[in-house]
């Protein structure tokens, strides 16, 4: 008899594809908890910046000391019991997260923490786990796997609008350039690069609204497509 699949919905894809919004809306619709694994790398990056850490060993030590939980309402990652919120969303933290997530030792420690957080929750409810390597490395045994993507232009435009709405002054050109840099690093790194699992359903959101994407994912989960 084959092993039962884990009660996890894996959502992978590049930044700006609408993954975060889709994941949180889907979790809401399913009554599931949400684990944002990007936030786990961002938390390590934020602390590394605070401590001015520069070596692989130091990044790994920081990762080992992190304590992750999901908040009671199932929506937020707590780091040492705290919601680090917008502190994890700066461009500096984004680049640092992309940088430290290249290191094998850092990934090993963080992956193991992600597994225990999601496993603990998935005993009672489904868990939507959002990231880059969820369907391939963290939970290859996830019950549902999606790869949410969009064209580079659309992704950069969405990110630009988001930053503008937050009052951040940037040009679309610089957002595109930063995105290209991050994409390249995330998909060419030696360990667990951004890759679509062979058994994942690919959803191109370039021409779709969030509502349409969530609806499509729900249909797949319910086995109605
Ligand atoms: O999804 P995000 O933009 O919040 O992720 C921040 C960085 O963390 C991203 O550049 C790559 C890394 N990351 C990763 O390597 N593996 C994951 N499962 C999630 C994020």
Give ligand 1 pocket residues (Cβ under 6 A).
Answer: 15, 37-38, 41-42, 97-98, 101, 131-133, 182, 186
Over residues 7-30, mean pLDDT: 93
The chain-wide mean pLDDT, for the chain, equals 92
Q: Comparing C-alpha atoms, which of 76, 212, 200 is closest to residue 137?
A: 200
For residue 187, is it within any domain?
Answer: yes
CA of 2 from ligand 1 middle (Å) equals 31
Q: Comparing C-alpha atoms, which of 182, 28, 151, 83 is closest to residue 9?
A: 28
For residue 43, is it within any domain?
Answer: yes
For residue 113, is it within any domain?
Answer: yes
pLDDT per residue over 190-214, tens digit each? 887 888 999 999 999 999 999 999 9
Confidence band (pLDDT; 50, 70, 90) for 87? very high
Which of 14, 40, 89, 132 to probe ligand 1 with, by most ligand atoms within 8 A of CB? 132
For residue 224, is it within any domain?
Answer: no
Domain with residue 181: its CATH number is 3.40.50.300
Query: How far is it, in rounded angstroms, from Cα 39 to Cα 85?
Result: 9
Query: How far is it, in rounded angstroms, from Cα 48 to Cα 139?
Result: 26
DSSP letters along 146-207, please? Answer: EEEE--HHHHHHHHHHHHHHTT----HHHHHHHHHHHHHHHHH-SSS-S---TTPEEEE-TT
For residue 72, is it within any domain?
Answer: yes
CA of 134 from ligand 1 middle (Å) equals 11
pLDDT per residue over 38-77, tens digit each? 999 999 999 999 999 999 999 999 999 999 999 999 999 9
For residue 225, is it within any domain?
Answer: no
Total count of domains within the chain: 1
Query: How far is it, in rounded angstroms, from Cα 6 to Cα 102?
Result: 27
Pairing between β-strand 68-70 and β-strand 77-79 as defined by DSSP bridges: antiparallel
Range of the domain at 128: 7-219
For residue 1, is it within any domain?
Answer: no
For residue 135, is it within any domain?
Answer: yes
């Amino acid at each position: 008899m084959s092993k039962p699949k884990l009660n996890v919905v894996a959502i992978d894809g590049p930044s700006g594809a609408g993954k975060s919004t889709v994941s949180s809306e889907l979790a809401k619709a399913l009554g599931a908890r949400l684990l944002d694994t990007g936030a786990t790398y961002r938390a390590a990056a934020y602390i590394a910046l605070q401590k001015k850490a520069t070596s692989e060993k130091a990044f790994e030590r920081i990762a080992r000391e992190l304590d992750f939980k999901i908040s009671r309402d199932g929506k937020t990652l707590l780091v040492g019991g705290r919601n680090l919120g917008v502190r994890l969303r700066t461009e500096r933290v984004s680049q640092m997260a992309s940088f430290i997530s290249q290191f094998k030792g850092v990934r090993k420690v963080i992956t193991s923490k992600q597994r225990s957080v999601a496993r603990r929750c998935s005993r009672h409810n489904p868990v939507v786990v959002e990231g880059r390597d969820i369907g391939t490395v963290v939970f290859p045994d996830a019950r549902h796997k999606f790869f949410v993507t969009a064209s580079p232009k659309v992704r950069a435009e969405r990110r630009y609008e988001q930053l503008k709405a937050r009052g951040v002054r940037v040009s679309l050109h610089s957002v595109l350039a930063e995105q290209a840099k991050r994409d390249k690093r995330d998909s060419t790194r030696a360990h667990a690069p951004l890759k679509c699992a062979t058994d994942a359903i690919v959803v191109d959101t370039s021409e779709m609204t969030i509502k349409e994407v969530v609806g499509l994912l729900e249909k797949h989960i319910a086995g109605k497509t």
